[in-house]
Structure 1
Amino acid sequence: MGERFKFVAAVHLFILNEKNEILLLRRYNTGYEDGNYSVVAGHLDGNEEVAEAACREAYEEAGMIIQKEDVHVIQTMHRKSKEERIDFFVTVERWSGELTNKEPEKCDELNWFPLEELPENTIPYIRRAIQNYQQNRTFDSFGWQEDSEMNAAYIDK
């Protein structure tokens, strides 16, 4: 019997403020989607709960201190990129610490944007996940077929 298939797992943070804005970062010098906007995110390190990974990434990338109980999983996405991925999307509305770009070598902007006015150059699967959040969709598949309307057929309403 061969080796079992393994997913790449990541957590993406929808850090929201009282103005209904989301924190976005513009990727820079990473070799992946550089110049485009994403959210604070990162891979799970293994032997780490999703909420713990979210807290760690928030601090590593943005200097935000988040408590596990303030992390709420709101969506899962089964995504096909270069490899298959499972993305967990979480919301966070409370934090402490000073918002700081702690990875200027990977991010050249960290800023708040209205949920209804995302930058044109938001990474497509991130845009889709934000739309899913706004429509209370908890699951999506993305990148499996070229036709995004076909992907929409798999969304759990």
Structure 2
Amino acid sequence: MRYALLLLLNMNKEVLLLKRCNTTFGNEQYSMSGGKVEANETARQAIIRQAFEELNIKIKSENLEFVHLLFRKGNDNIIFDAGCFKATKWEGSLKNQEPEKCSKINWFKLDNLPENILTAHKQIIELVQKNTYYSEHGFVD
């Protein structure tokens, strides 16, 4: 399965995270915005769509910078890959558009992420700060 994630940063070097609820995975944990890449859609297009659907903001393609690719093994050996794009510029006012899936949205300092964050998302955020563009999660050496 292909996913696209959004690392949304503000001028205070804070990342926007969503607290998940009523989902099939990661309830009560924080995550970046994003979701599945649909058929005939690029990862960049998926981020633009998801940002509007989840957060009520419009991001132009030229304001998205690819920053990381995560290759992850999930439950039942299902393999996922997630392309993460960073944006520091967008239009519109942030608003939780999916309260049935997200109980809140909050800004967090990059060096003070919440304890209840999805492990893979924390890994991505930390590696992006080190300019590391690829990682794996869930595999045993």
Per the TM alignment, residue 48 of structure 1 is displaced from its structure 2 partner at its CA by 1.0
Identity of aligned residues (%): 32
SS at match of 1:113: strand
Q: Who is 1:39 aligned against?
A: 32
* Mapping 1:1-16, distance limit 5 Å: 8-16=1-9
4+ long deviations beyond 4 Å: none
Q: Who is 1:140 aligned against?
A: 135
Structure 2 residue corresponding to 1:90, chosen from 85, 91, 95: 85
Which whole-Å CA distance do the structure 1 matches of 2:41 and 2:62 have between them? 15
Per the TM alignment, residue 88 of structure 1 is displaced from its structure 2 partner at its CA by 0.3
For structure 1, list consecutive stretches of 5 or more residues without a partner in the other structure. 1-7, 151-157
* Mapping 1:6-155, distance limit 5 Å: 8-82=1-75, 83-145=78-140
Count of residues in correspondence between the two structures = 139
Amino acid at match of 2:38: D
SS at match of 2:48: helix
Q: Report the TM-score when normalising by structure 2.
A: 0.96
Larger radius of gyration: 1
Which whole-Å CA distance do the structure 1 matches of 2:105 and 2:112 have between them? 16
SS at match of 1:52: helix
SS at match of 1:41: strand
For structure 2, list consecutive stretches of 5 or more residues without a partner in the other structure. none
Which whole-Å CA distance do the structure 1 matches of 2:60 and 2:134 have between them? 25
**Greater RCO between the two (CA within 8 Å, min separation 6)?**
2
Q: Report the TM-score when normalising by structure 1.
A: 0.86
Which whole-Å CA distance do the structure 1 matches of 2:10 and 2:36 have between them? 24
Which whole-Å CA distance do the structure 1 matches of 2:29 and 2:92 have between them? 26
